[in-house]
Structure 1
Amino acid sequence: MELRLQSLSQSRDRSAGIRFRIGVVLTAALTCCLSTSAADDTKPDAANAGDKVQPESAQLAFVRDKVRPLLESRCFECHGPKGEAKGGLRLTSRQAML
């Protein structure tokens, strides 16, 4: 009986040690993953590097043909070129929107 209790005690100690090691390995792996993803976020992209990104002609056509008419019909009454822009938001140009 004493041998069996000693065996159970050793088994618990081993499983606790294994669980601890697994926890350490998982924590280290998670830390590595998070640190590499955070390092990737700090790389400057074209917009942040000071390079002005020029829109393509297809993008300009889409805004001119699809977006602008929608803004004119739904939004320009309060946020258009005439009068005071409601809430300080004017939708007449990209610069004014930002």
Structure 2
Amino acid sequence: MTFRDVDGAFDSGVDVVACGMQNLTFLDVVGLHAVLDPARRLDARGITFFAYDRQRQPRRLLGLIEELPPAADIRVKAGEPVPSPV
């Protein structure tokens, strides 16, 4: 299953999505969004997302994201100004 396939899980009664990342050896910013965007959409629908068997570099990058305070996860709606840092 790919991350694009995750969208199909939204309406099919799925409670948990587990993502094996054992073959992902490198993760850049584009790849990071490819992981986080579906995870956030799943979370918004009450579906739990797990990423497991993370390799060293992706695990480090995802770990940095997990350490960010919730305020850093700013969601901007279309047409609204971007909030300035406090």
TM score, norm. by length of structure 2: 0.26
Bigger relative contact order (CA 8 A; separation at least 6): 2
Q: Which protein has the larger Cα radius of gyration, Structure 1 or Structure 2?
A: 1
The structure in which a higher percent of residues are strand is 2
TM score, norm. by length of structure 1: 0.24
